[in-house]
Amino acid sequence: MSEFKEVTVTKAASVYFDGKVTSRKVTFNDGSFKTLGIMMPGEYKFGTNEEELMEITAGECEILLAGATEWQNISGGQSFGVPANSSFEVRAKTLIDYCCTYIS
C-alpha cells in the first residue's frame, strides 16, 4: 500500500536521538495506528510497549532483537516483528524510511 486513506496524521513530529530519528503518527478509523518515520544513518536502541511490525520502506540496516545474538540484514521492502515489552537495536547504514505498525 503506497498511501493510507481516511486517516488522521499528527502535525508535529516526534523527535528522538537529537532528531536523528523522527516520526509522525497516523491513526486509522478503527483507532489503530502506525508511525511513519526516518532514521539518519547511525545506531539506535528502541523499547517497545505494544508488539510492533517494523517495515523498512527504504534503506539498508542491521537489526538485533532483544535476546538474539545475530544481527539480521534488513533492506527496503522487508519487515521484522518485535514482541511487546521488549527492545531492539538498529544499525542504519543508510537513511531509513520506515513504517511501524503497533499491534495491540
The three-class DSSP label of residue 49 is: coil
* Contacts of its own copies in 16-35 (CB under 8 A): 18-19, 22, 24, 26
Task: Please identify, using beta-carbon distances, which residue of 58 and 84 lies nearer to its own copies.
Answer: 58
Q: According to the binding rule CB under 8 A, does residue 2 interact with its own copies? A: yes
Q: Give the separation between CA 90 and CA 99, rounded to whole angstroms.
A: 14
Furthest C-alpha separation in the chain: 41
CB 45 within 8 A of CB 87: yes
Angle ∠(82,87,89) on CA atoms, nearest 5: 95
d(C-alpha 51, C-alpha 86), whole Å: 8
Enumerate residues 36-65 that contact its own copies by CB under 8 A.
Answer: 36, 38, 40, 57-58
Site pattern 64..103 for its own copies (x: CB under 8 A): -------------------------------x-x-x----
Tell me whether residue 48 or residue 57 sits nearer to its own copies (CB atom).
57
Instruction: List residues near its own copies by CB under 8 A.
Output: 1-13, 15, 18-19, 22, 24, 26, 36, 38, 40, 57-58, 95, 97, 99
